[in-house]
Amino acid sequence: MQFDGYLAEIRFGAGLSPLLPPPASAADMLERLQETDVIAQRFPVSRFEDVAAGVQEYRQLRRARKEQQDAAGAEAAQQAFKSYRRSQNRLRFEWHGQRLLRMVHSRDGFRERLALFWADHFTAQGKTGAWRHLAAPYAESVIRPHVVGRFEDMLIAAATSPLMLQYLDQSRSSGPGSRAAARRKRLNGLNENLAREVLELHTLGVDGPYSQADVRQLAELFTGLSISKEASFVFRPGMTEPGSEAVLGGTYGGGKPKLEQVLEVLRDLARHPATARHLARKLAVHFVSDTPETALVDHMAARYLESDGALLAVYEALLEHPQAWAPELKNVKPPFDFVASACRALAVPAARIETFKPGQKNRLLLAPLTPMGQRWEFSSGPDGWPEADTAWITPQALAARLRWAMAAPRRLLQELPDPRDFAQNALGGYANERVRFAARAAETQAEGIGLILSSPAFQRR
C-alpha cells in the first residue's frame, strides 16, 4: 500500500480530471500546499471583513422598512430591502460557484479538501437573515489562510470571528459579576454555548478530559468576546467576569481583563494531547475511512504533538502512512464534493459556468444539494456535516444523486463525451467491468454519463 497518483486525486483531492495530471508523489502534494494559493486568486471569494458591513446595511434597510409603515416611502423601502436580500442571495450562489470551480480546476485538490474539512470543523453559519451570506467569506478569510499553518492560529481566528461569536451566542454572554450586568438587569447573562463547543468539537473532543465545571469556567473566561455594530470583532472588558478562572487545572485571567488571557487558554487547549488525538482521528475518518486503524491515528497524533500542532507535519504523517493508501475506495463523497468531482471529470469550463445566471447556477449546482442531504451553509449544528457513509446514502438522497447525474451534465456541457471514454476519465483504474459495461450498454449518452457518475466506484473515494 503506497502512493498512487490516481488514488491521491480521488481520495485526497477533488477527483480525476482529463485535463490536469495527478500529483507525482506525496512530497509533490505537500509542496503544492506550500506554494501560493493560485486557485483562490483565479476564483476569488470575498473576504469576511470586506462584506461583514452588509450585516449593518441589512439591519438599516429592515428598520427603514418598518419605520415607513403606511408612509409614502413604504413601497420604496420594501423594494430596497427586498433587492438587497436578493443581491445577498446572489452573492451566496456566486461564492458557491467559485468554490466549486476551484475544485474543478485546481492542480492542488488536497488544499480544497483541507479548506472544506477545516471550515466544517469550525462550522459557523448565519442564524438570521442579516448574517446568512457570511459563511463563505468566513471560510475564505478566517479558515483558509490557516489550513497549512498551526492549528492554534486557526482556533484563535475561528473563536474570535464575529460569525462564530454570533452563531454560538457568545457575543451577548456577560459575566454575572460583570460591570455590564450590574448596569443593566436585562442582560442575558452567561452563555456556555461557545465554551462547550470549543471543548467538545473544536479541541479536546466529546470524550475529552473536561467536566461541566471546565465548561462553566471557560465560558466565564470567554466573556468579553463580542461583536461591534459593524460586525467586526471587539473585546468588551465591561462584559467580562471579574477574577481568574480554572480550566483543566490551569489558571487564567485575573486582574485587568485582557484578550490575551483568552488567547492563552486557546493555545493551551490547542496543544493538549486530547486535542492531538481528536484532530488526528477526525482527519483520518474524513480522508481514509469511517473506521480508521489505530496505528494511523496514533502516528498522526504523535506528529501533531511533536510539531506543536503544525498542520503540514500532520498531513505529512497522514500521507506517509501505508494505511492512507489502502486501494479499496471507502468514504462516500458528500454531495458538494460529488457534484464538484463530477464537474471536474466532465472538465466543465469555467467560462461555461460563468455564462449562467445566478438562478441557473442555483438550480443546477446549489439547490440540488438539498435533496442529497446537504443544504448548503445550513448544516444542522456546530458539529457540521456527518462523516458516516450511511448518513449520505439514504434512499431519498441516493435518488437525488442519480437524478442529478442523469440530468445535469447535459446542461453543463454543450457536448457530452462518449461514455466509454468518460469512464476512463472519471475513474482511471477504478473503472471496473460493471462500470465499463454500463457505459457501453446505456441507451443514450446522457444515461451513460449518469450511470458512471452514479456508480459506487465514483461516489466513494
Partner 1 sequence: MQMTRRSLLARSAALGCSLAASPLLTPVTFAAAPWDTRLVVVILRGGMDALDVVQPYGDPDYAGLRQSLAGGPAAGAADLDGFYALHPALAPLLPLWRAGQLGFVQAVSTPYRDRRSHFDGQDLLEAGTAGPGEAEGGWLNRLLQQLPGVEARTAFAIGQERMLLMEGGAPVSQWAPGAGLAMSPQAERLAGLLMEEDPLFRAALNEALELTRQDLSLDLGQEDGSSDEGEDMMMSMMTAPKGKAHQEVAAYAAQQLRGETRIAAFSINGWDTHQRQANGLKNALGRLSEAILTLQSGLGPQAWGKTAVVAVSEFGRTVRENGTGGTDHGTGGAMLLAGGAIRGGRVLGRWPGLAETDLYDRRDLMPTADVRGQLAWLLHGLTGAGRSGLQANVFPGLDMGADPGLLL
Helices 335-346, 445-454: crossing angle, 10 deg rounding: 130
Interface with partner 1 includes 25 (CB under 8 A)? no
Binding letters toward partner 1, positions 174-203, x by CB under 8 A: --------------x----x--x-------
Among residues 118, 122, 376, 404, the one that binds partner 1 under rule CB under 8 A: 404
Nearer to partner 1, 301 or 431 (CB): 431
236: three-class secondary structure by DSSP: coil
Task: Considering only CA atoms, give the Rg of the chain.
Answer: 24
Interface with partner 1 includes 398 (CB under 8 A)? yes
Minimum distance from residue 308 beta carbon to partner 1 (Å) = 31
Considering only 37-45, 139-147, 298-306, 427-435, which stretch makes contact with partner 1 by CB under 8 A?
A: 427-435
Interface with partner 1 includes 450 (CB under 8 A)? yes
Nearer to partner 1, 18 or 129 (CB): 129
Helices (H), 271-376: 273-287, 294-306, 311-320, 335-346, 350-354, 358-361
In contact, 341 and 333? CB cutoff 8 Å? yes
| Distance between CA atoms of residues 119 and 133, nearest Å | 15
Interface with partner 1 includes 80 (CB under 8 A)? no
Interface with partner 1 includes 389 (CB under 8 A)? yes
Interface with partner 1 includes 314 (CB under 8 A)? no
| Distance between CA atoms of residues 269 and 288, nearest Å | 26
Interface with partner 1 includes 400 (CB under 8 A)? yes
Residues 6 or more apart in contact with residue 162 via CB below 8 angstroms: 48, 52, 171, 227, 231, 232, 233
Among residues 237, 273, 371, 384, the one that binds partner 1 under rule CB under 8 A: 371
| Distance between CA atoms of residues 219 and 247, nearest Å | 10
Interface with partner 1 includes 360 (CB under 8 A)? no
In contact, 318 and 281? CB cutoff 8 Å? no
Minimum distance from residue 345 beta carbon to partner 1 (Å) = 16
Residue 95, C-alpha cell as written in the block: 461564492
Question: DSSP characters for 415-456?
Answer: SPPPHHHHHHHHHGGG--HHHHHHHHH-SSHHHHHHHHHHSH
Among residues 59, 267, 375, 420, the one that binds partner 1 under rule CB under 8 A: 375
Name the site residues for partner 1 (rule: CB under 8 A).
65-69, 74, 78, 127-128, 169, 188, 193, 196, 332, 363-364, 367-368, 370-371, 375, 380-381, 389-390, 393-400, 402-404, 406-408, 410-411, 432, 434-435, 437-438, 441-444, 446-447, 450-451, 454-456, 459-460
